[in-house]
Amino acid sequence: MFAFLLVSGCSREQPSVPAATVPASGSASSLDRSLPHFDGQEAFRLLLRQTSFGPRNPNSPGHAGCLEFLTATLGALADRIDLQQFTQQGYGEALNLTNIFARFKPDAPSRILLLTHWDTRPRAEHDQDKSRRDQPILGANDGASGTAVLLQLAALMKRLPPAIGVDLLFVDGEDYGKEGDHDLYLLGARHFASNKPPDYAPRFGILLDMVGDTYLELPREQHSLKYAPDIVDLVWNTARDLGIRQFINEQGEFVIDDHLPLNEAGIKTIDIIDFNYPDPTNRYWHTHDDTPDHCSPESLEAVGTVLTTIVYTQQP
Ligand SMILES: [Zn+2]
Per-residue confidence (pLDDT) for residue 22, from 0 to 100: 39
7 has a pLDDT exceeding 70: no
The CATH code of domain 34-313 reads 3.40.630.10
DSSP characters over 76-116: HHSSEEEEEEEEEE-SSSEEEEEEEEEEESTT-SSEEEEEE
In percent, the amount of the chain with pLDDT more than 70 equals 90
pLDDT higher than 60, residue 128: yes
pLDDT of 282 reads 85
The whole-angstrom distance between residue 246's C-alpha and the CA centroid of its chain comes to: 16
Separation of 184 CA from ligand 1 center, angstroms?
12
pTM confidence score: 0.91
**Strand pairing category for 4-6 and 21-22:** unpaired
161 Cα: distance to centroid of ligand 1 (angstroms) = 32
For 84-110, write each residue's pLDDT tens digit.
999 999 999 999 999 999 999 999 999
| Residue-level pLDDT at 6 | 46
Contact 259, 220 (CB under 8 A): no
Cβ neighbours of residue 70 closer than 8 Å, sequence gap 6 or more: 10, 100, 118, 147, 151, 170
Question: What is the rounded CA–CA span in Å between residue 205 and residue 210?
Answer: 17
In 3D space, the residue among 151, 160, 168, 154 whose CA is nearest the CA of residue 20 turns out to be 160
Q: How far is the CA of 137 from the centre of ligand 1 (A)?
A: 9
Expressed in angstroms and rounded, the spacing between residue 128 Cα and the centre of ligand 1 is: 16
Assess whether pLDDT exceeds 50 at residue 9. no
The residue type of 67 is: L
Residues 6+ apart with CB under 8 A from 62: 53, 54, 55, 56, 120
Distance CA 225, CA 233 (A): 9
Q: Which residues are within 8 A (CB) of 304 and not within 5 positions of it... i.e. 6 or more apart?
A: 38, 40, 43, 149, 152, 153
DSSP 204: -
Measured from the Cβ of residue 30, the count of other Cβ atoms closer than 10 Å reads: 11
Task: Using the mean position of ligand 1's atoms as its centre, give its distance from the Cα of residue 285 in Å.
Answer: 7
User: Distance between CA atoms of 166 and 74, rounded to whole angstroms?
Assistant: 13
Distance 286 CA to ligand 1 centre (A): 6
Instruction: Band the pLDDT of 34: cuts 50, 70, 90.
Output: confident
What is the DSSP annotation of 228-278?
Answer: -HHHHHHHHHHHHHHT-TTEEEEE--EEESTHHHHHHTT--EEEEE--SSE
pLDDT value at residue 281: 84
Contact 93, 162 (CB under 8 A): no
Reported as a single tens digit per residue, the pLDDT across 152-206 is 999 999 999 999 999 999 999 999 999 999 999 999 999 999 999 989 999 999 9
Q: Could you tell me the residue ranges of all domains in the chain?
A: 34-313
Gap from CA of 102 to ligand 1 centroid (Å):
23
